[in-house]
Structure 1
């Protein structure tokens, strides 16, 4: 497993991280075992959020990593608050809320610090300077080591990069969502801010789920991309998961790709192919993208 540093921090994460959102409390024991197997396989980056399962996901992760807490990078997110009746959540991005809410995450995660604390969304109308101040207070207090942003809004991303010390931006990236290639990837790379990629297999369509329209691509365009991927995988004697992850990690702005493993079978499959994941050459990328049009962010530019 390769390890890369997040932004300008000293925090090194595995090139594949475990996105823990897909681990459900109804299968608590299995979730704990999967996290421990992920660690044994070389994964040291585990991502959750206070929003997931109303905090129970953080509790699951916190329990699972106790024996190796000091050896991993633990990431969670803040900014959304569940309503009292449990029927949905509201956006609460303020200095007071962030500084207060970190304590709940620390308690659920059974730790005294969070390696990467991310704003879970964000709009251009938010009190951005105040939010940045909250994260800086938490860094100074030793509650968090660094902070970042989980967002696909270019205008919001630019504000935080320009005004703050963020280390990372978590955003969607795959063969079916290459919007960040237009300009945001180069911008983040230039400013030494890491991209943490989610959605590398595009809801499973790049692996085994039926093709359907996705973002700006029609279902026929999605099918064309999948055919390219199938042909590439066959030609290079790898499976689709290996090829899809290799494509994502071949973007030099990407530091880690988060994979949502939620069954023992998926974990076994990952362990079998993890050493085959590699950086693709320009020629290989061209193979995968033959006949594929570029995508662009159409909102929040």
Structure 2
């Protein structure tokens, strides 16, 4: 397993990170799966207070009891559940963030969060107030670092200019190359780590039947999946090829992958030992489809 410092933080993050949103509801099964992931060298676990009304944080906290010093816990804030549980409202206000962190700490059974992330955001948010909340939590020792989870260039740019974020989590795959247009280079210049999600495009690049995805037609998605399959082999299967495309971008620190079963974990972990994409292979993948671009929030 390769480890990379997350931006200008002191957090050494495994290049394959565990996306906990995919965990089931059985605590015992989750504990076994997470222990298996740790045995493979995964040290970064990403969750959010939004997932399963907080139960995702709870099951992760149980699974990591006694292992706290050897792992990095990342969670998110900003989506406030309505009292009747029917949905959630966006709330990036300082008062809410300072109260929400207390509940996350209890569910995770920890005294501090390694990486606290704003779970979205718009350019119309009270950004300076949000930043002040994160800075206060750092001063209090309740979080070590903070970042944002966003695909909006204008929001990312604002936080680069006005805050001390160490990371941005964003969707990035062969079928979503929007970050390549400007965000990845901008983040790299500012030494801000990139955590990718959706790098298998919901399985469309691996084993799911072709279907429309973002601005791409079903036929275009099929062509991308075929290109991934063509470059795959016993040494580097399709999931590993798709992940290699993302991980080999210099701006990317880690790929956060949703893992539900031990078999999925074993498959994903083969990425660590799989052959790197050669420059001509990467170019071949890029030539299959014209890259998509952000149409809004630029």
Q: Using structure 1 for the length normalisation, give the TM-score.
A: 0.96
Superposed CA deviations along residues 177-212 of structure 1, whole A, max 9, x for unmatched, are: 110000110000001111100001000111111111
* Counterparts of residues 140-151 of structure 1 (less than 5 Å): 140-151=139-150
Match of 1:196 in 2: 195
The aligned runs of 1:31-110 (5 Å cut-off) are: 31-110=30-109
Shift of 1:270: 2.9
Contact preservation (8 Å) 2:151, 2:170: yes
* Deviation for aligned residue 1:268: 2.8
SS of residue paired to 2:216: coil
Aligned-pair CA distance for 1:291: 3.0
- Which residue matches 2:246? 248
Unaligned 5+ residue runs, structure 2? none
Deviation at 1:101, TM superposition (A): 1.0
Q: Find the partner of 1:295 among 286, 292, 297.
A: 292
Contact 1:80 1:89 in 2 (8 A): yes
- TM-score normalized by structure 2? 0.97
**Contact 1:35–1:64 (CA<8 Å) still a contact in 2?**
yes
**Secondary structure of 2:116's aligned partner:** strand
Distance (whole Å) between structure 1 residues aligned to residue 91 and residue 82 of structure 2:
11
Residues 228 and 289, structure 1, Cα contact 8 Å, conserved in 2: no
Deviations 1:198-244 (A, max 9, x none): 0010001111111111111111111111111110113x842001111
- CA shift at 1:33, angstroms? 1.1
The answer as to 2:278 corresponding to 1:275 is no
Work out the CA distance in 1 between the residues paired with 2:6 and 2:222: 34
Question: Residue 294 of structure 1: CA displacement?
Answer: 1.1
Inter-CA distance 122–198: structure 2 relative to 1 (3 Å threshold): same
Q: Distance in 1 between matches of 2:93 and 2:54?
A: 19
**Higher mean C-alpha deviation, range 286-295 or range 126-135:** 286-295
The question of whether the paired residues in 2 share the 8 Å contact of 1:147 and 1:167 is answered with yes
1:257 matched residue in structure 2: 255
Q: Which runs of 4+ in 1 moved over 4 A?
A: none
Distance 1:279 1:144 in 2: 35
- 8 A contact 2:19–2:259 mirrored in 1: yes
Kept in 1, the 8 Å contact 2:27–2:63? The answer is no
Q: Does 1:174 align with 2:145?
A: no
Residue 13 of structure 1 pairs with residue 13 of structure 2: yes
Deviation at 1:279, TM superposition (A): 4.3
* Aligned counterparts of 2:89 and 2:168: Cα–Cα separation in 1: 22
